[in-house]
A and B are shown apart, each in its own frame.
Chain A
Amino acid sequence: MLLSPALAISAVLFVLGVAGVLFRRNAIIIFMCVELMLNAVNLTFVALAQSLGMGGQVFVFFVMAVAAAEAAVGLAIILAVYRHKQSVSLQNMNLLKDG
């Protein structure tokens, strides 16, 4: 009975995450937006687990574990980039561009 509002909230959260990744330049905010998308997906899993079985809830733990690992690596990268460039803006991270 709470399925529809739960899915709606998760969709909103996901779109917010996508929009943040697309339009923000700050690496930390983009990183948080990625987390937001992951958790929006988690919410969908949990909501659907009510009707489709426990598999969704188990999967959420996997996603959280991966997200934790990703947070560790991702934050380390951002820290390294900041030490190197004194900035975490993605606009400065264009070394692959040909001049």
Chain B
Amino acid sequence: MTGTAVDLIWLAPALALLGFVLNGTLALTRPNSKTLVSVIGAGVLLAAFAVAVAVFSAFAGLHAEEPFVFRYWSWIPVGTLQIDFAFQVDQLSLIMLLVVTGVGSLIHLFSIGYMKEDPGYARYFAYLNLFIFFMLVLVLGASFPVMFVGWEGVGLCSYLLIGFWFSEAANATVGRKAFIMNRIGDFGFMVAMFMIFWSTGSLDFGTVFTHAPNALAAGGKTVTVITLFLFLGCTGKSAQIPLYTWLPDAMAGPTPVSALIHAATMVTAGVYLVARCNLLFAMAPVSSAVVAGVGALTALFAATMALKQWDIKKVLAYSTISQLGYMFLGVGTGAISAGIFHLVTHAFFKALLFLGSGSVIFALHRAYHHTHSHEDAQDMRNMGGLARYMPWTTALMWIATLAIAGVPPLSGFFSKDEILTSAYARGQGDVVWLVFWGLALVAALLTAFYMTRLMLYTFHGPNRTGEKEQEHLHEAPWIMTGPLLLLGIFSAAGGVINIPELYHGNAWLHHWLEPITQSSAPLLPAEHLAPATEWMLVGIAVAVALTGIVGALRLLKPEALVPAAKAPEERGFARILKNKWYVDEIYDALIVRPLVWLSREVLWKQIDQRVIDAAGVNGAARGARAIGWANRWLQNGQVGVYVAVFVVGVLLILWRATS
């Protein structure tokens, strides 16, 4: 207990849980009381954000080097395994707390407008509040198991919200896909937890990170395996190669959900986990290189797939995977603050992009609804020229696009540049990091290209929505554009929290996170770049971003597009990209189908039907029947026979008794 507002940290998750309980009750009893649901749903989030701000300012005033751990109750006391339900307040969890409640509040407000007509309104807000609760447990948990509760909880809410419109079978299926792929990652998380307990004797963050340098050999096998399993958990939750395929499909959920869960918060949990365990990853250079390598590869690979998607949300989904790859490149290189910085700025501009696309889909959906058309409201080939109808959305989306592309001085420029610079700096010692840097740089080029493509096809050129529909296209209501505006300001100016010393900034976030990263810092090679080199890297990054944007503007012709219904099939390489490198099909052929075949043909038709059912269950029945059949002459219903048997039996007994 500190005697300050920091003690109130429990209030933030408690408020979200309260919102879930109230909205859940309303969803079951009075699903149409939408005003009350909105007030509760968004109200608890705004209150939680206020708590977060109060805790943050109180914590900043304390200048604490050590984290504050609040133990609420003993959760799992088993022998030497003592796990308390405890929250940990430190620099890292506070940053996450602010992002989750801040961006979460804006998305809740946006949802009020976006989901207004939905019959599942109360259920939607109940799930959303529950998600925030679990996300706060995830970031505030003071031990691996408490974090794991949040980790599983957000997965559950993700599943519930992806399949929110479950009356269409396809939505329910992709919800299951997301859940199952996450379970593969969770398996890794759990194995890592077991190994951590086995080697350090504890699961509390504080104890583990204190004991780890003594209990584990730096660079040794154990720590490498632990961190690799932890990273397997991250690839599931944060949609990295090889477990990323669920995220694009997760776009079946409502768009604000995509913004909140599948862009700004939940999918960054893996980055948070690596940042939290930065000491373990620093002790395992191989794992760090794997993290960075997978991150860089994912950044590039996902960016290529974003190039040819027509669904506006799918483009953003691949973009999210790609940007998450950048974050992993950052935390993998040991630049924890750079990774977290990109996490924060990405939360701003990606939430803005998703909400902006939500407002576009909202407008198109409404227009099609008016004209009773069944065209796809998410297909960019049905958009075009929307800048005339939606000036606010267009302007704000452009800010986010320039930010994600890395155009100075918007937020994404600073965060992405810092990641690229630290990767390049590690390349001084080992050339493999230069390869990662190169991959990320190409990904940056593609990012600028596909984002400009999205803007160009959606907002510029001629309108392809349809003659009748055009008069129904309007800007979204203020409850939706308001949050967009705030996110636009953050996307533009978010970089100020960590302006590097190169520009005479104070690198606030970097210094703020030093208590978290100081234990791992001595383990990492200290690479310093000359200012001239840094300026050169900045120049390259900006040139790449501008090339991408200008290239897209020059190469793409929105005038030549035709609406989705009449569009021709892609050919050649474009077709491969459109079909996402056929990764889903490859997984299907290599894993899903053999597994289904094994289950159906061997486990079901052989083991279950032939062995258990046939030999076991029916075999026992058949055995009993055979014995009965063999002896049934004894019971033929003729009294005379019974008497004869009886007499023979008596004679036998007498004979035995006398002889």
0/1 interface trace, chain A 7-23, chain B, CB 8 Å (1 if under): 00000000000100110
Chain B residue with the shortest CB-CB distance to A27: B639
Other-chain residue from A18, A90, A96, A98 in contact with B640 (beta carbon distance below 8 A): A90
Does B643 count as interface, using CB distance less than 8 angstroms?
Answer: yes
Does A66 count as interface, using CB distance less than 8 angstroms?
Answer: no
Does B638 count as interface, using CB distance less than 8 angstroms?
Answer: yes
- Which of chain A's residues have a CB closer than 8 A to the CB of B80? none
Does B636 count as interface, using CB distance less than 8 angstroms?
Answer: yes
- Which of chain A's residues have a CB closer than 8 A to the CB of B639? 90, 93
Count of chain B residues with Cβ under 8 Å from any Cβ of A? Answer: 9
Whole-angstrom CA separation of A22 from B643 in the bound complex: 7
In contact, B643 and A97 (Cβ under 8 angstroms): no
A82 to chain B, nearest CB (A): 16
Other-chain residue from B637, B644, B647 in contact with A97 (beta carbon distance below 8 A): B637
Whole-angstrom CA separation of A50 from B643 in the bound complex: 33
Other-chain residue from A22, A25, A94, A96 in contact with B644 (beta carbon distance below 8 A): A22
In contact, A94 and B643 (Cβ under 8 angstroms): no
Whole-angstrom CA separation of A93 from B635 in the bound complex: 14
0/1 interface trace, chain A 72-99, chain B, CB 8 Å (1 if under): 0000000000000000001001111110
Other-chain residue from B635, B643, B647 in contact with A96 (beta carbon distance below 8 A): B635
Chain A residue with the shortest CB-CB distance to B651: A18
Whole-angstrom CA separation of A95 from B637 in the bound complex: 7
Complex interface residues of chain A between 59 and 79 (CB less than 8 A to chain B): none
Whole-angstrom CA separation of A96 from B635 in the bound complex: 8
In contact, B640 and A97 (Cβ under 8 angstroms): no
Whole-angstrom CA separation of A93 from B638 in the bound complex: 8
Complex interface residues of chain A between 13 and 45 (CB less than 8 A to chain B): 18, 21-22, 25
A37 to chain B, nearest CB (A): 11
A54 to chain B, nearest CB (A): 27
- Which of chain B's residues have a CB closer than 8 A to the CB of A90? 638-640
- Which of chain B's residues have a CB closer than 8 A to the CB of A22? 640, 643-644, 647
A99 to chain B, nearest CB (A): 10
Chain B residue with the shortest CB-CB distance to A93: B639
- Which of chain A's residues have a CB closer than 8 A to the CB of B647? 18, 22
Query: What is the interface residue range for chain A against chain B?
Result: 10 to 19
- Which of chain B's residues have a CB closer than 8 A to the CB of A18? 647
Whole-angstrom CA separation of A94 from B636 in the bound complex: 8
A25 to chain B, nearest CB (A): 8
> Chain A: interface secondary structure?
loop
B655 to chain A, nearest CB (A): 15
- Which of chain B's residues have a CB closer than 8 A to the CB of A96? 635, 637
A74 to chain B, nearest CB (A): 13
Whole-angstrom CA separation of A95 from B635 in the bound complex: 12
Whole-angstrom CA separation of A22 from B638 in the bound complex: 11
B247 to chain A, nearest CB (A): 66
B630 to chain A, nearest CB (A): 15
Chain B residue with the shortest CB-CB distance to A24: B640
B71 to chain A, nearest CB (A): 74
Whole-angstrom CA separation of A52 from B637 in the bound complex: 42
- Which of chain B's residues have a CB closer than 8 A to the CB of A98? 637
Whole-angstrom CA separation of A98 from B628 in the bound complex: 13
B236 to chain A, nearest CB (A): 63
B37 to chain A, nearest CB (A): 69
Chain A residue with the shortest CB-CB distance to B639: A90
Whole-angstrom CA separation of A90 from B642 in the bound complex: 12
- Which of chain B's residues have a CB closer than 8 A to the CB of A95? 637
- Which of chain A's residues have a CB closer than 8 A to the CB of B643? 21-22
Complex interface residues of chain B between 471 and 487 (CB less than 8 A to chain A): none
Whole-angstrom CA separation of A94 from B647 in the bound complex: 20
Complex interface residues of chain B between 596 and 649 (CB less than 8 A to chain A): 635-640, 643-644, 647
Whole-angstrom CA separation of A18 from B647 in the bound complex: 8
Whole-angstrom CA separation of A90 from B636 in the bound complex: 13
0/1 interface trace, chain B 13-38, chain A, CB 8 Å (1 if under): 00000000000000000000000000
- Which of chain B's residues have a CB closer than 8 A to the CB of A21? 643
Chain B residue with the shortest CB-CB distance to A25: B640
Whole-angstrom CA separation of A35 from B637 in the bound complex: 23
- Which of chain B's residues have a CB closer than 8 A to the CB of A93? 639
- Which of chain A's residues have a CB closer than 8 A to the CB of B640? 22, 25, 90
- Which of chain A's residues have a CB closer than 8 A to the CB of B644? 22
Whole-angstrom CA separation of A77 from B538 in the bound complex: 113
Chain B residue with the shortest CB-CB distance to A94: B637
B207 to chain A, nearest CB (A): 75
Whole-angstrom CA separation of A38 from B569 in the bound complex: 103
Whole-angstrom CA separation of A41 from B636 in the bound complex: 30
B249 to chain A, nearest CB (A): 61
Chain A residue with the shortest CB-CB distance to B632: A98
Chain A residue with the shortest CB-CB distance to B636: A97
Chain A residue with the shortest CB-CB distance to B638: A94
- Which of chain B's residues have a CB closer than 8 A to the CB of A25? 640
Interface centre among B636, B638, B640, B647 (most CB of A within 10 A): B640
- Which of chain A's residues have a CB closer than 8 A to the CB of B635? 96
Whole-angstrom CA separation of A97 from B643 in the bound complex: 16
0/1 interface trace, chain B 526-550, chain A, CB 8 Å (1 if under): 0000000000000000000000000
Chain B residue with the shortest CB-CB distance to A99: B637
Interface centre among B635, B636, B639, B643 (most CB of A within 10 A): B639
Chain B residue with the shortest CB-CB distance to A96: B637
Whole-angstrom CA separation of A21 from B636 in the bound complex: 18
B497 to chain A, nearest CB (A): 89
Listed A/B pairs (20) with beta-carbon separation below 8 Å: A18-B647, A21-B643, A22-B640, A22-B643, A22-B644, A22-B647, A25-B640, A90-B638, A90-B639, A90-B640, A93-B639, A94-B637, A94-B638, A95-B637, A96-B635, A96-B637, A97-B636, A97-B637, A97-B638, A98-B637
Additional A-B contact list (15), CB under 8 Å, known A22-B640, A90-B640, A94-B638:
A18-B647, A21-B643, A22-B643, A22-B644, A90-B638, A90-B639, A93-B639, A94-B637, A95-B637, A96-B635, A96-B637, A97-B636, A97-B637, A97-B638, A98-B637
What 6 pairs across the A-B complex have the smallest Cβ distances? A97-B637, A96-B637, A94-B637, A90-B639, A21-B643, A22-B644
